[in-house]
Amino acid sequence: MASEDELVLFVNGQEVRLSRPDPEMTLLYFLRKHMRLTGSKLGCGEGGCGACTVMVSRYDPIRREIEHLSVNACLAPLCSVDGMAVTTVEGIGSTKESLHPCQERIAKAHGSQCGFCTPGMVMSMYALLRNNCTPSEEELEEAFEGNLCRCTGYRPIIEGYRTFTKEACCGGSGAAGGGKCCLKGGGGGEKADDCQQTSCDSQPGCTGAKCCLKGGCGLEGLVNTCCQENGNAECKEEATQNGSPDGPLQVKAEQRKPNALFDSSKFIPLDPTQEPIFPPSLMLAAPARPLAIQGPRTKWFRPSTLEQLLELRDQYPQHSSPDKPQYRMVVGSSEIGVEVKLKNAFYEVLISPTHIPEMNRLEVTEEGLMVGGAVTLTRLGKKMKELTRSMPEHMTRSFTAILEMLRWFAGQQIRNVAAVSGNIATASPTSDLNPTFMALGVKVNLASKGHSRTVVMDDSFFTKYRQTIIQPNEVILSLVIPFTREGEYVFSYKQSRRREDDITIVSCGLRVLLEQVGSDWKVVNSSLSYGGMSFRTVLAKKTQQMMVGRTWDEAMMADTCKLLLEDLPLAPGAPGGMGEYRHSLVTSFFFKFYMTVLHRLSPQTIPAEMQSVVQPYHRPHTRGTQGFQMVPDTQAPLDMVGRPMMHQSALRQATGEARYVDDMPPYQNELYAGLVMSTHAHAKIVVDTSPALQMEGVRDVVTVCDVPGKNLVGVFHDEPVYADGEVTCFGQIIAVVVADNLMLAQRAAKVVKVTYQDLPSVITIKDAIVANQFYNVTRQISEGDVEGALGAAEHTLEGETHMEGQDHFYLETHGCIAIPSGEEGEMELLCSTQGLHHTQLAVAEALGVPSNRIVARAKRLGGGFGGKETRTMSLTTAIAVAARKVQAPVRAILERNEDMISTGGRHPFLGQYKVGFTSEGKITALDLKMYSNGGNSIDLSYGVMDRAVLHSENAYHIPNFRCRGWVCRTNLASNTAFRGFGGPQGMMMAEQVIDMVATKLGKPVEEVRYINLYHEGDVTPYGCVLTECRLNRCWSELMERCQFNERKANVEAFNRANRWLKRGVALIPTKYGIAFGLKHLNQAGALLHIYTDGSILLTHGGVEIGQGLHTKMIQVCARCLGVPPERVHVLDTSTTTVANSSPTAASSSTDLYGMAVKNACEQLNERLKKYKDKDPLGGWEKWVMSAYLDQVNLSAQGFHRDEDLHFNWTTGKGSPYNYYTYGTACSEVEVDTLTGGFTVLKSDILMDLGNSINPAVDIGQVEGAFAQGLGLFTVEQHVYLEGSQYTQRGQMLSFGPSLYKIPGFSDVPVEFNVSLLDNVPNSRAIFSSKAVGEPPLFLAASVFFAIKEAIRAARREGGFPASFQLDSPATVERIRMACLDEFTQKALEIHKADDKLWTIIV
């Protein structure tokens, strides 16, 4: 029998017993650092990205059932999993033994690029399948609400895992696991006896005559050919296009080849009977024993009876005063875990009530549903769904309202562990559930030692910020959610930046009880409760009183909306900002409530154009097609160039075997770094390291005094390794604490005392313009007579537009391990960098040694997007200095908040323009000024501005054009490279101008875009003649493929039929130049070894970031040498194998390194030629051995450089790019004009990528870039504070996924179609291909301008001007406030005199 201070758990089937573990340790830390199970990743540390997802299984002896739960291991305390079985990605399969279907399908469906998020995706899917082996598509997408991916665009993940769903017909393997299911290629459409699908006649494109479920499918080896997906030859044209210059080429069924992106018929069948059983010893041990674990600083209690709990709570009450010891109850740790990590909270005692029987009850009573205080949100949701199905509708309206809110409450991993009582006890003013609980008058049963009482959640329940009437020694035993009555209606509403897994901006629970008097319905009473409108959840009491006795009609609605604004005031500069928007939501929500209740009372009274107001939100399931050109029949079967080859690391990424920097095993005597970073924008500093040095286990604290070489590094040597008496931005490294373990190092860093004396700071672009604070380079290009053309123009317009920045949010943060050798200053660096050469140089300078003493290498990166090109130097040099001082390996991995605060992001831009144009819309002149926010160092800001200026006309020929650019010097962390490298900012300026011109003329904007497009032979403003210009072909083919004119007519019809839902459609082109801006960077090297067994080792200077570079290099090498790809292995990228490598950036890596590999192969082919000629049938191994025996060198160094690149900024003329990548995208959106929420209904993309080397990789890059661009132009917005007595001006608040939102699974287009233009070889790149990484990103602006069209439709209907400014990103706030109606007008009137801001735009 285990003692009270011993944990017993199982990890991947192995029993683990831990005596007196540290209660502060998370499950993730234990798995990674103690068990060396590094498959589960640390992505954010706050349960917002899902990279750490594991499955926790537990047995409930009361309900006698086993639960399998996906859980965020980064938040789960280790002590919380006592008596449970933990399964990590390593525990379900491996490449060494056998793969689990979850692992195989995401890899082979091309759903893993950088791979850092992949183990979390796998485990979310695995947990779902353990609970339901044939889930629905809805359950599938719900399972991933807590997972994020920055690379893929999500479509391939969903598509791969859709094969498990019941809609996909037995998961593609037969319900019995291996039958002849129609979707498993079972032969001529044979259908498994236990197949759950009976017909697919209703599927899009299915004629029924040759339906796969009726024996019509006979296309062996094809994926997605079933009409369930894309149709077969006679159901629907398959997605893969084999085109010609004049349009898609129709191919007979017998001529079709197995060229789809993946073949689901070859997937491993799912056999639920083969899954591991729950450990019987854990079942026998239930019910759980009490735990009392004393750690170094914290004590953990888990009582097993209510009496024990109340005794503990009496001994350790929850004090509200920060001056008293802090004790907390913890169930899911979703709040406490974040407080500890991000708010420096410390709790001496943690009490877990998860095993108290009374607190796990879920019982129906006469009054309603009694919910135990420890019942999780997942259990609550399941029970409420059961009750809504089995009980009369009028009784369960309260449950329906709560279920609606649970749809948007965090992610599945959080809901699986978070308790209902936790949401109440934490008393968040932006709670999702508390407003609905308050509106319902939920009763809360409280218990303490010797006492119990029941209180009602009314307006007195929440007393202050984060405080309630619950006494310090009381616990929430249970709550009672009441049934509703006839005539009683309850609805809940919420608006956030992103629909899923996001913090509330405004939420509400609205309830009304009506009685019929004659033909009228009168208000008996009501409860209008709002979150996000005060420091606590509040009731609109005056409004409620006014409503009593009123008839439920428009007059009552209007009076209610007016009084609500008075009842719920927001002071200027109120925390959270967005005063006008929040007030508009208050009234918009009530209007929705009014209309929905009216619809329930009398459906016929709701006009048809108002029906959309009363419909709950529903998003169709994600779908998509992928079109690409097939390789010719004459191509050798083993030649994989042009074929969709799986990412070479995908399977290892899916099994957790792929290693990233922090996955590397610890070195002997390895130490850990904790960073001391600046918390002020600009200040003099004095540092006292003594408090940290006094802590046991702290080895040293490193500062500027310890730098042996140069303290200034960076691209322009203007960035200190360590701050030297002054800091110039938030997040600047001041000191590094070196300690025995990571937890200690982080704690010690927090006790280093830094005294600040503030200096004047410049934060925003406009601050810098006023202060005349710029870096000393101005960029300009000019063509024609701009001033003269503007003066002669028929029409002119002037304006400005702002485009905010973006965080890279790579799932793997910056990290490095510095290993000093102790000999001649040598040091090895394992680092997550795109620029190994620059890192090597910077560290050598900081250490004062030649570069040949420093080795930098990288196996793979968990995403980069430009953010790891130069910004890694700050961390790596600081850690190298620390390792040099302590003469031991030092490991440093940035926490997510540290990374976001310190490493910069995409440059914000301000554009000012004057444009001249004709009445037909032809632009005759454009004068554009651009300002970027460079931050506190130059870094790559000059290069970013260069590309912005050179792309500022986008795809349009403007005969008289001038663009000037300035980089502002501010006190933000230095902004840097980001996918597109200034191109999207420049192109956005052009598109905003085009949009405003079209609006001014009253012309369709697509017409204005089209008549201004570049044509073959046109000359850019910087003197470059366009050759192989395929803009017009991309435009016209996409117009036809996406049926643009028909779609636009349908959108207009929809808008006429709907008052409050509006749709918009937009088509956008892009022209993106391919090359580094600095000529000398356009070079590459490769090293190739052939071994005597015929195997080939390839290394090159490019870093694998997830973009499939290594995969493509394998394809190139295999083709050039005429061998199967399996013979080629790619090793780490290292400065020892390829010296002086350029950063893996600028979308040029395949072009450059592909040619270098080809060059090396050509050398080896020349050496092997005589042996092949001598013995043509000898085979590869024999040729290689013959050459070896003949003393032939079987190693070759390849090299390539791009010629003919030149540009002169003095004249503004030249040829800066090797070629251009072209593309077009059409997007259609639907906007809820009452809230600003929107859905991307469909996006069609057509890209000119030449002859694709790997269509699967390239299409994945297109989708991923588009999704990242979607974030840039819509949901992603950094929050910087204006500053107050408690905060610093320019302080970033959005330093993690809780407040910084990247697109999630439900944000990408519902229908996501990507095609590659066919028959378009590129004469200037390897195997006629084109670069793909950055060019597609700007096409997501089609979503931005579709939103703008939807807003314009709303404004026109409301009688407001069609011309308006919409800055990027188009957030829900900006969308709503631009729509303009009676609700926004009233909100704007209230706040018109506000002169105090809470946030600033930098």
Q: Are 434 and 422 in contact (CB under 8 A)?
A: no
Strand partners, 263: none
Q: Which two tokens stand for residue 455?
A: 């209180």
Catalytic residue among 1276, 1334, 1349, 1357: 1334
Main-chain phi, psi angles of 1281, to 5 degrees: -80, 145
Strand partners, 1133: 858
Q: Are 1305 and 145 in contact (CB under 8 A)?
A: yes
Q: What is the DSSP letter of 868?
A: T
- Using CB atoms within 10 A of its CB, is residue 661 exposed (0-12), middle (13-18) or buried (19+)? buried
Q: Which two tokens stand for residue 1139?
A: 């010296």
Q: Are 98 and 91 in contact (CB under 8 A)?
A: no
Q: How far is CA 507 from CA 582, 583, 613, 617, 734, in A?
A: 10, 12, 17, 15, 41
Main-chain phi, psi angles of 740, to 5 degrees: -70, -30
Q: Other CB atoms closer than 10 Å to residue 75's CB: what's the count?
A: 29
d(CA 1354, CA 1346): 13
d(CA 910, CA 800): 7
Measured in whole angstroms, the distance separating CA 430 from the mean position of its chain's CA atoms is 23
Write out the H or E segment, with its range, that includes residue 1113: helix 1109-1121
d(CA 99, CA 101): 6
Q: Which two tokens stand for residue 1327?
A: 């195997």
954: alpha, beta or left, given left = phi > 0 and alpha = psi -120 to 50? Answer: left
- Using CB atoms within 10 A of its CB, is residue 1285 exposed (0-12), middle (13-18) or buried (19+)? exposed
3-state secondary structure of 55: strand
Told to judge if 1334 belongs to the known catalytic residues of this protein, a careful annotator would answer: yes
d(CA 897, CA 809): 11
Torsional sign, CA 254, 255, 261, 263: positive
Q: Other CB atoms closer than 10 Å to residue 1105's CB: what's the count?
A: 28
Query: Residue 117: which residues within 8 A CB-CB, separation 6 or more?
Result: 41, 43, 49, 50, 51, 147, 148, 149, 150, 151, 811
- Fill in the amino acid letter for 1353: A
d(CA 962, CA 949): 9
d(CA 1090, CA 344): 55
d(CA 1229, CA 1343): 7
Q: Provide DSSP, 10-28.
A: EETTEEEEEES--TT-BHH
Write out the H or E segment, with its range, that includes residue 833: none
d(CA 1216, CA 924): 25
3-state secondary structure of 1359: coil
Q: What is the DSSP letter of 177?
A: T
Measured in whole angstroms, the distance separating CA 870 from the mean position of its chain's CA atoms is 22
Q: What is the DSSP letter of 254?
A: G
Q: In this structure, are strands 349-351 and 327-329 parallel, antiparallel, or unpaired?
A: parallel
d(CA 1082, CA 1076): 6
Angle, in degrees to the nearest 10, between helices 1372-1379 and 579-601: 70
**Which active-site residues does the annotation give?**
1334
